[in-house]
Amino acid sequence: MELLNIESDLRSWSREVLEVPNDHLKGLPPCPYAKQAWKQNKVLVVEGDDITIDALRYCNEFYDLSKELVVVASFNIPDLQEFSAFVEGLNKDFKKLHCMQFHPDFGAEDAELDFLYDNDWDSNLDRDYCMVFIQDLRLVVNASDKLEKLGYYNAYPRSEYNELVVKRKERLQWL
């Protein structure tokens, strides 16, 4: 019997949602790089009690880990606004990294991100959790540039596109 934890839940979501072609994205998967990253063991998922302490630790250690993505996760969920401010602060303090958040109170439907919620996947866990995704900023921007040429971001509302793609590029220019 498989132990049900955040990593197994996240891996299931990746397999069943992120890695499969999506009509909202012109047949591209929501994360075209996920399958390969998992396959090449380039993803580290860390589950802890205090997401802020753990995120700070893994931002500091990121380049020593030889991973493309570190996911710091916790069942102890902070307030959405405080969490958003914390992740924004990570991006300011760790200029070479790109940190992105997942919080269960963030409304993908409100943000019109159909490809994130228009699917049949259900979590195997009975509790919500939050996550901080940590990646190298340069790699993320390069990957975004490739996807942009394929029309990938056409499905994104302009405000989300600006928040995700434009802001990252601007940050990279200041390195």
Question: What pTM was estimated for this model as a whole?
Answer: 0.90
Distances from the Cα of 102 to the Cαs of 30, 91, 99, 127, 145, in angstroms? 15, 15, 10, 14, 23
Query: Which residues are 99's β-sheet partners?
Result: 134
Contact call for residues 130 and 51 (beta carbons, < 8 A): yes
Average pLDDT over residues 88-99: 97
| pLDDT at position 143 | 94
Q: Is the pLDDT of residue 71 over 80?
A: yes
Torsion of Cα atoms, 121 then 44 then 32 then 63, to 10°: 150
What confidence tens digit (pLDDT) does each residue in 109-165 have? 554 556 666 678 888 899 999 999 999 999 999 999 999 998 888 877 788 888 889
User: Which of 161, 33, 51 has its CA nearest to residue 104?
Assistant: 51
What confidence tens digit (pLDDT) does each residue in 9-47 have? 999 999 999 999 888 777 888 889 999 999 999 999 999
